[in-house]
């Protein structure tokens, strides 16, 4: 533990030097179904000056305090940890160094500022309601930001890392599935840097894509991260390399298709507007140039300080919207339990045998019945006694019907005449004893048809 150190001191510590190894290939993760923003624009609001005024200056005051001791810096071996040539090595550096530092600083301000938790790896989380991959109705040439027909599988919507807000009411016992608030994607610095987007071949001076540039390999990290944010309904996202932290916010472009009718349609209209006319506001924080102990006096953001700030912003308001208030005017949100109801405690799940014996109707269906148990209506309906009584009742009702049929047969002409007429023609009348078995067989046959 380091006493006498502030949160700001911890977050502005110099990042370790990274040795970039040669990547195995230059290809990046791609999918023809990834969406892309129509325009990229510099996010000037995301700055150290905004941090100083955010939440009426209370956040920066807490960051500068030297009250509670903070954890010691993690140790990275130059040979074992700092040679990066692929995405796994990049994720290892961020998990061991940046995640350890940033999460320690987030823990210090979790209660007053509702900071979310940085999850270093993939985990099960749910998306915002109704924001799911959709089948595209028209071709890419007709609608910007959309590609050929098809669907993305669920595995394509698992970012490399993320963030969620713990339930402050029930803690880890909360039954609610965590909601993704800040999807992150790791890229190898030797393969991708955001500066390549602005070298003339990908984006024009206004930040819009040049012809067919959105299909290029260099555009895929932007498209992948943008698709994550649409799917998880998150306004903030990150692309992290050992060269930079590319932090962004998405929304529909100003004046893009927002009408009272679209507001009534809700999420569907907002998602469609993001896919067809989305804006990505971004800031690129260099890995090495700003990380000095006097970063506070210079008024610059470091990678760790920027990641700490965006986790606090996402912990309070993370859902994408048509527009946002100025970043300096953001407010702290009141958080409720996402489960809606309190989770079941172990005590409430204990089976109470005394209550079950006293009231047979509460008995578990999986419990085997004993001979001594009192017969209930359901059990009696399947018992042998009930079957015997039912057969006896059926037999008596059959005999009654046979008797009535026999009486009527003596007066009703069944075969073309009465019983007396049959006798005159020399045909003997059937006796009741000979009729009864036949009727019983026909009655029994009709009963089982």
Q: Cα 131–38–25 angle (5° rounding)?
A: 85
Task: Render 93-133 in DSSP notation, one character per residue.
Answer: HIIIIIHHHHHHHHHHTHHHH-PPEEE-S----BPPTT---
Quote the CA–CA distance of 125 and 77 in Å, as a whole number: 33
Q: Is residue 14 in some structural domain?
A: yes
Q: Is residue 378 in some structural domain?
A: no
Q: Are 113 and 59 in contact (CB under 8 A)?
A: yes
**What is the SS3 assignment for 52?**
helix
Tens digit of pLDDT at every position of the chain (449 positions): 666 789 999 999 999 999 998 887 888 998 989 999 999 999 999 999 999 999 999 999 999 998 678 889 999 999 999 999 999 999 999 999 999 999 999 999 998 999 999 998 876 555 553 444 443 333 443 344 444 334 555 555 789 999 999 887 777 777 677 899 999 999 999 999 999 998 878 999 999 999 999 999 999 999 999 999 999 999 999 999 999 999 999 999 986 555 555 555 567 899 999 999 999 999 999 999 654 445 455 689 999 999 999 999 999 999 999 999 999 999 998 866 755 544 443 433 333 444 444 444 444 454 555 666 665 555 555 565 555 555 555 555 555 555 555 554 444 444 444 444 454 455 555 555 545 555 555 455 444 44
User: 146: closest CA among 254, 280, 32?
Assistant: 32
Quote the CA–CA distance of 399 and 52 in Å, as a whole number: 98
Q: Is residue 159 in some structural domain?
A: yes
Quote the CA–CA distance of 369 and 142 in Å, as a whole number: 68
Task: Render 4-44 in DSSP notation, one character per residue.
Answer: T--HHHHHTSPPPP-EEPPPS-S-----TT----SEEEE-T
Domain that holds residue 46: 7-329
* Strand ranges, E, within 165-234: 184-186
Q: Is residue 406 in some structural domain?
A: no
Q: Is residue 395 in some structural domain?
A: no
Q: Is residue 343 in some structural domain?
A: no
Q: Is residue 185 in some structural domain?
A: yes
Quote the CA–CA distance of 78 and 96 in Å, as a whole number: 13
Burial 209-241 (b: 16+ CB within 10 A, else e): beeebbebebbbbbbbbbbbbbbbbbbbbbbbb
**What is the SS3 assignment for 252?**
strand
Q: Is residue 370 in some structural domain?
A: no
């Amino acid at each position: 533990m380091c006493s006498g150190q502030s949160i700001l001191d911890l977050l502005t510590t110099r990042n370790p030097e990274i040795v970039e190894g040669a990547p195995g290939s230059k290809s990046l993760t791609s999918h023809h179904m990834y969406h892309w923003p129509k325009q990229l624009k510099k996010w000037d609001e995301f700055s150290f000056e905004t941090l100083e005024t955010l939440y009426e200056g209370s956040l920066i005051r807490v960051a500068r305090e030297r009250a509670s001791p903070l954890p010691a810096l993690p140790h990275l071996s130059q040979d074992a940890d700092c040679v990066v040539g692929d995405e796994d090595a990049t994720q290892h550096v961020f998990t061991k160094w940046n995640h350890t530092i940033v999460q320690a600083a987030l823990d210090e301000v979790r209660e007053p500022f509702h900071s979310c938790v940085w999850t270093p790896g993939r985990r099960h989380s749910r998306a915002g309601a109704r924001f799911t991959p959709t089948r595209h109705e028209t071709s890419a040439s007709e609608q910007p930001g959309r590609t050929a027909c098809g669907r993305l599988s669920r595995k394509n919507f698992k970012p490399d890392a993320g963030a969620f807000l713990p339930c402050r009411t029930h803690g880890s016992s909360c039954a609610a599935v965590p909601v993704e608030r800040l999807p992150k994607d790791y890229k190898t610095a030797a393969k991708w840097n955001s500066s390549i987007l602005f070298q003339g071949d990908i984006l024009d001076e206004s930040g819009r894509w040049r012809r067919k540039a959105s299909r290029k390999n260099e555009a895929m990290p932007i498209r992948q991260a943008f698709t994550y944010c649409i799917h998880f309904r998150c306004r903030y996202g990150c692309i992290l390399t050992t060269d930079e932290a590319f932090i962004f916010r998405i929304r529909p472009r100003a004046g893009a298709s927002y009408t009272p009718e679209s507001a009534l349609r809700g999420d569907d209209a907002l998602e469609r507007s993001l896919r067809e006319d989305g804006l990505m506001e971004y800031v690129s924080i260099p890995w090495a140039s700003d990380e000095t102990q006097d970063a506070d006096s210079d008024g610059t953001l470091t990678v760790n300080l920027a990641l700490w700030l965006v986790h606090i912003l996402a912990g309070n308001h993370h859902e994408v919207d048509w527009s946002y208030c100025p970043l300096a005017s953001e407010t702290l949100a009141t958080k409720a339990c996402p489960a809606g109801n309190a989770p079941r405690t172990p005590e409430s799940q204990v089976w109470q045998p005394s209550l079950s014996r006293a009231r047979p109707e509460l008995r578990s269906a999986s419990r085997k019945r004993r001979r001594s148990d009192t017969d209930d209506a359901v059990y009696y309906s399947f018992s042998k006694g009930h079957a015997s009584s039912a057969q006896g009742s059926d037999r008596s009702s059959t005999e009654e019907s046979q008797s009535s049929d026999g009486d009527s047969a003596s007066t009703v002409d069944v075969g073309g005449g009465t019983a007396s007429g049959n006798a005159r023609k020399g045909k003997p009348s059937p006796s009741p004893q000979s009729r009864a078995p036949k009727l019983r067989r026909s009655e029994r046959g009709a009963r089982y048809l």
